[in-house]
Structure 1
Amino acid sequence: MESRNYIFPGLIAVVMMVIAALLTSLTVAREWEVGTMEQLIATPVTRGELILGKLIPYFCIGMLDLLLAVLVGEFVFHIPLRGELWLIFASCSVFLVGALSLGILISIVTRSQFLSSQIALVATMLPAFLLSGFVFPIANMPYPIQLFTHVITARYFVTLLRGIYLKGLGLRLLFGEALFLLAFAALVLALAHHKLRKKIE
């Protein structure tokens, strides 16, 4: 019944969502604003390779952040970890791919660092903070808002982390949440690949 045990897993999800989408929302837009995108267009690098090159460094940073968060939770705040550690990292890797791809998609569509950063904040921070169940229980929200929370990826990641951290649940009981995160990551990554054009417009 200690509040820190309940808050900590949700806090990981919110931080990962905001940082991941915000960092990658500046990547492609920066290339257009600085003028280096023209040089990339002239190279034989494919769209998939370009997106992968933008995604991998931030993915590594996100996983390092997760490792630090787990260590701080274990040795500083003494948060009980009742589930499997590999399951936390596996679910986080899927969630990170979706969040990073969303940031890249925003960056591709806007081509403006300022605009993409603002959209990323609105599209990730507010829903992740208010509609994921991190601060307010979803069951206490008005019914129309409860329906809307089903499209918020942070909702499923918060449920996953709390289930693994506090209850020691496995994929057998969290399969639905994991499947949604996987589908979201695949969809957004495919959209980012489709929207990226290696030509001057």
Structure 2
Amino acid sequence: MPKNRLLITLLGLIMAGLLGACSSEESSSPATIDAAEGSSVKASGAEASGVGSEEGGARQAGLPFDVGPWDENDPNFQFFDPCTDIAPEVLAGAGLVEPEEEPVREEGGFASCYFLNELQNGDHRGTLVILTSDLVPKDKYNVAGIKILEGVDESGIALVEEADRLGASCSTSMVTSRGRWGVEVSYVGDGKLGNECEDARKIHNLLLKGMEK
């Protein structure tokens, strides 16, 4: 199967799994979503980093969302789509210059786009970076095939593993007032480099830094 068809099929599987989890969630209370990734941003860390606690809903300077749970019943709720809501220059600053295909979207509940960057060491592998956002609460992670690897850090970023991926991959996961979004990194081709989580967190932090400007 050609590379682009394989990647499109992969994105279709991701969308199907996450939308299934979203549709099975008839009603999610803010308290349930507040527990996402196993822990909230602690007050001491928030004071040091400028990130508000999930309960407080304070906004990190310049970001288009609050770090903390979302409420779909809020009349002002706006779903965050990283593929369109992050400016092209911010994406480029994180090494994401141009998406490989048109973004995959489901109105108000799922968005995904991917970038394929060649590795600098000259081999045939590339770094596949997928930006995704959804409305999957923590109590539906099992349904969506999401496994928590590491709880939230001082910036509100957790590390998760997505069950329906091809090869080694690692994803960040950030719960915000506009939904859950993250960065997935995997390596296309033979072999494993083992830096997927490190690279995913680095790209996510670069995007946050760029959006703060």
TM-score (norm 2): 0.27
Bigger Rg over Cα: 1
Higher fraction of helix: 1
Higher fraction of strand: 2
TM-score (norm 1): 0.29
